[in-house]
Amino acid sequence: MATTQAPTTIKCPKCGAVNRVDPEKIARGEAPVCGRCKTALPVDQATTTPEPFADARPITVTDDTFAEQVERSPLPVLLDLWAPWCAPCRALAPTLDQLASEMSGKVRIAKINIDENQKTALRFNASSIPLLLVLKQGREVDRLVGVQPKAVIAARLAKHLS
């Protein structure tokens, strides 16, 4: 049976993923679950307004949001430690945008400005930027320093998908 209505989107209260749900299934009383973490989705928060998927663009994190956005992420996180004055950091940004879009749902891409978030920069000993860290549950599992080609970054990320 084909759906005639536009898909409904519901944001997961646990992991923040935006899920597309068939509105006809909701009408039939079927309980939707998050595709990422399998948490029951609150159907009362369903919206038919299309939203961009949560991981389709890099997210900005701070010292204060690091634990919530990175350490508690159910997905591996590629963390870009950067500064606005750093030309190589700015040159890398479009590559990270592309990776976020292409790897949405598999990897979360996050950016942190080291000038404004020195606690996290010190934690990871960010002495050279751009610095890309692959983190799983907040723990560093890989590190790339300097501007890297998209294929190199994607290959390093692929090693940590499981």
With a CB cutoff of 8 Å and minimum separation 6, the contacts of 115 are: 83, 84, 85
Cα–Cα distance measured from residue 139 to residue 89, given in angstroms and rounded to the nearest whole number: 23
**3-state SS, residue 135:** strand
Rounded Cα–Cα distance for residues 7 and 13 (Å)? 19
Is-catalytic flag, 86? yes
CA 10 to chain centre: 17
SS (H, E, C) 21-87: ECHHHHHCCCCCECCCCCCECCHHHCECCCCCCCCCCCEECCCCCHHHHHHCCCCCEEEEEECCCCH
Is 89 among the residues known to form the active site?
Answer: yes
User: Nearest to residue 157, comparing CAs of 105, 88, 106?
Assistant: 106
Q: How far apart are CA 14 and CA 38, in angstroms?
A: 9
Query: Looking at 12, 15, 34, 89, which residue is catalytic?
Result: 89
Positions annotated as catalytic residues are 86, 89
